[in-house]
Chains A and B, each alone.
Chain A
Amino acid sequence: MSEKDLKDKDLSDSVDEEKRDFLFITTAGLAVAGGAVTALSLIDTMNPAKDVLALSTTEVDLAPIEEGQSLTVMWRGKPIFIRHRTSEEIRTANNTSINELKHMASDESRVKNPKWLVVVGVCTHLGCVPLGQKVGDNKGEFGGWFCPCHGSHYDTSGRIRKGPAPLNLEVPPYDFVSDEIIKIG
């Protein structure tokens, strides 16, 4: 190869612009795709791991809970309120007119067996645990639960009645495995 050939090679009119664009776009495209896949798999490590997901159901034996008593169990790291409601409590819950409610839901739609109310014990305002599970607790103006953080009152169906919380206490997915055992999750 002579010096002159090299010189000629440098002339811009011998550059195949289309080929360069093609190479540039395919290379950059592949690099971006590879980077994205790598980044996504790395970010995925922060999602719940298999051992965490394996703990996502909890079975509870309801037999020891007398009428009027409550039980708090853990499910996915959160408290679950289980209340064995008295007939009085069930009646008040049922007699409440739906139109009075901030978050409209009938008591029927929130229970599988009216004797048992199962709700997630996390205030829908900012995540505090409401009072009302223990005998001496302040149960709020509606006989359900009262959240001490910002003063939300829940009724005997776990529905929001007064205060800043926007929604009723969440009903977790659960099933009656037998008459007296429920499986949450």
Chain B
Amino acid sequence: MKEKETENKKGISNWIDERLPVFTFINHNLRDYPTPKNLNYFWNFGSLAGVTLVIMIVTGILLAMQYTANTEMAFDSVERIMRDVNNGWLLRYIHMNGASMFFIIVYIHMFRGLYYGSYKYPREILWMLGVVILLLMMATAFMGYVLPWGQMSFWGATVITNLFSAFPVIGDYIVTFLWGGFSVDNPTLTRFFVLHYLLPFAIVGVVALHLVALHQFGSNNPTGIDVKSEGDTIPFHPYYTVKDYLGLGVYLIVFAFLVFFAPNFLGHPDNYIPANPLQTPAHIVPEWYFLPFYAILRAVPDKLLGVLLMFAAVMVLFFLPWLDKHKIRSANFRPFYKQFYWLFFINCIVLGWVGAMPAEGVYVLISRVATLYYFGFFLIIMPFLSKFEKTTDLPSSISAAVISEKFDNNEPSSAESYVK
């Protein structure tokens, strides 16, 4: 009987699906996939990050075909890409600005999670995988910035690798090991190129796990309430495919504007000077996406403590699900958390800003206060609020929340009837 049924299904896609269920998989995860019906545009940023990863890998592979990872030739090979390679300028500007766009997207994606409590039960591992992706992205972006072998590349590499020298006893050995020599030189460049090429594929792998973990319980939503009935969800296609496409269109317009009209806006002009191991630029700053962490590093007068705090600033994110144990996910229903959250958001911008300023005078003071709040938010405010914060009334379900928004009427019964 079973065999008969198999035979009855006609068509090549069914034949393949029977043996390798790709179409079932796509249908399950991208088409029928039940998604909360109240997602707002902040839920676009996951798919945007995925698209950006693909853009980075495609342009990166094409760039690697033209680039030479050798201290004598790297800078010139990049200039050759800009001048001689067909559309090489476009390729490089997409890749260069793509890195910035990737961090913008991912930071917004993370602030979204922080606001709506997407890291809480049962999505702890989903969140932690996201932090792993962030770490891999940071390593990849840093090593990519070294490849053009300009002044900022060289001195950025020198400063960042020297962070590890802060560790007592083993520090110097680690740094020599990272360099493969006694200074940032050809062995360093070669390994950075190899790792810069390799790590994005590791990111792809972790992204796959991130998606598996996401689809285990489905997306969180602006109310933070669990999906309770089928009426709370809509199929992913066409509702969210269309919403994602619209977001993608807007995103690509911004991206294209940056690439075509201000390609060097986010970069640093000193990186168009070939690397010179004998002279450090007067004012050295990392790329904008590292500035908040750089500010934390400089806020501390002690070398080791500064480095540890900087690493801790990212590591603390791993513990978020256990620092904030408040039952309510969405900040919309947590009046106090909401205010501290926005203060934290502004605080991150301030950290980024002082990170770009010279480390002197009032900037040092500002960076110290901001660093205190950064850690205070995670380590003091979050656990404190978990215990003592009273919440506003929660809607009984996602549908009820949607309906009450539409009709300003809180009767859940009428909501349910509309759904059915």
Contact = CB atoms under 8 A, between A and B. Distances in A.
Q: Do A and B bind each other?
A: yes
Interface of A: 1-3, 6-7, 27, 41-42, 44-47, 49-52
Nearest to B248: A31
Interface of B: 58-59, 62, 65-66, 80, 83-88, 90-91, 245, 406-407, 414, 418
A42 B80 contact: no
B88 A42 contact: no
Nearest to A41: B87
Contacts of B80: 49, 51
A11 B418 CA distance: 13
B84 A42 contact: no
Given A3-B418, A51-B80, A45 B85 contact: yes
A52 B84 CA distance: 8
Nearest to B417: A3
16 contacts: A1-B406, A6-B406, A42-B59, A44-B86, A44-B87, A45-B66, A45-B87, A45-B88, A45-B91, A49-B66, A49-B84, A49-B88, A50-B83, A50-B84, A50-B85, A50-B86
Given A45-B62, A49-B85, 9 more contacts: A42-B58, A44-B87, A45-B87, A45-B88, A49-B66, A49-B80, A49-B84, A50-B86, A52-B84
A42 B62 contact: yes
Contact of B86 (A2, A7, A45): A45
* B58, B87, B88, B245: most-surrounded residue (chain A CB, <10 A): B87
Contacts of B59: 42
A132 B354 CA distance: 72
Nearest to B415: A3
A3 B65 CA distance: 60
A50 B90 CA distance: 15
A46 B65 contact: yes
Contact of A41 (B90, B406, B418): B90
B12 to A, nearest CB: 23
Contacts of A52: 84
Nearest to A7: B418
B418 A42 contact: no
A34 B357 CA distance: 41
A173 B59 CA distance: 36
A44 B62 CA distance: 10
* B59, B85, B418: most-surrounded residue (chain A CB, <10 A): B85
Contacts of B85: 45, 49-50
Contacts of A51: 80, 84
Given A47-B86, A51-B80, A42 B407 contact: no
